[in-house]
Copies of this chain bind each other. A is one copy, B any other.
Amino acid sequence: MTNPPYVIGHQQPDTDTICSAVAYARLKQAQGADAIAARAGDPNPETQFVLDRWNVEPPVYLDDASGERLILVDHNEHGQAVDGSREAEVIEVIDHHRIGDIRTGEPILFINRPVGSTATVITDLYDDADVEIPRDVAGLLLSGLLSDTLVLRSPTTTETDRVVAERLAELARVDYEEYGKALLERKGALGEREPSEIVLGDFKEFEFGSAHVGIGQVETVTPETVLDQQTEIIEAMEAIRTERGYTDLLLLVTDILEEGSTLLIRGEHSDSIAEALSTRVTDHVGPLPGVVSRKKQVVPNLSSAFD
């Protein structure tokens, strides 16, 4: 007998990653298949708020996936996956990002849609399978969708996301604008976090040719609470960069209300990265007006620039 597969999202999990893992494992279970919702790190304060609100247990923590079977949700790159993913068997992928470096020996289910959240894709899979979405699962899926799209305001938002959000809000019996506002406030609750926690709270790694780039993002309604500490944060970034061997380390401090970001950057390719993002960097800081999406407004430009 083989172990049941783990449904698991990316490292430094966010709300969409955790909620998608739980919701997709529940779908598998409803279809009579065995599957365990898992996580590669601790839920952030926003996600913990969501789990408490819908009275759902957090997924089990998986520290090493070697030898296991994995269903990846909300990512499809080994660099972002749970430790040991290269020694695991990937048996499914459900995602909404760029296409990464997952390779398999056998045909598998791999669904990636250019929509605002993995939760949107999973809602569609419930419908395909003709499985009713329970209220708590609707609440989780709505949370993933609203969190990833900044309550439908991010440029990654599609018409599909809007339709799905309305439907999930009805099933969850909440007003999505009001509920979304409560989520965003949690996102902004950076309180007394250490500089390194701010950099690594929502953090992803990317390979662009020979460049190995880490990109953190802070989404907040009060960017000044972060930027007031920029000297300490930039020092912390350089320490993290050296320790982990990144060629470059970026932090996007995103103002959710103004819909723009400030870039903090350390590393070897600051000039070419600044050029790729059409900004000018002075003392490791540059403005990124209009930029709120790492996935859609930063990664593709770096990908082209390093090509």
Chain A positions within 8 Å of B, measured between CB atoms, are 90, 93, 96-114, 156, 295-296, 299-300, 303-304
Residues of B near A304 (CB, < 8 A) are: 105
Q: What is the minimal beta-carbon distance from A90 to any residue of chain B, in angstroms?
A: 8
- CB of A107 within 8 A of CB of B296, answer yes
- CB of B107 within 8 A of CB of A112, answer yes
24 A-B pairs within 8 Å (CB atoms) are namely: A93-B99, A96-B107, A97-B107, A98-B103, A98-B106, A98-B108, A99-B103, A99-B108, A100-B103, A105-B300, A105-B303, A106-B114, A106-B303, A107-B113, A107-B114, A107-B295, A107-B296, A108-B112, A108-B114, A109-B113, A109-B114, A110-B110, A110-B112, A111-B112
Residues of B near A300 (CB, < 8 A) are: 105-106
- CB of A110 within 8 A of CB of B103, answer no
Residues of B near A113 (CB, < 8 A) are: 107, 109
Complex formed: what's the CA distance from A171 to B253 in Å?
55
- CB of A112 within 8 A of CB of B114, answer no
Q: What is the minimal beta-carbon distance from A240 to any residue of chain B, in angstroms?
A: 25
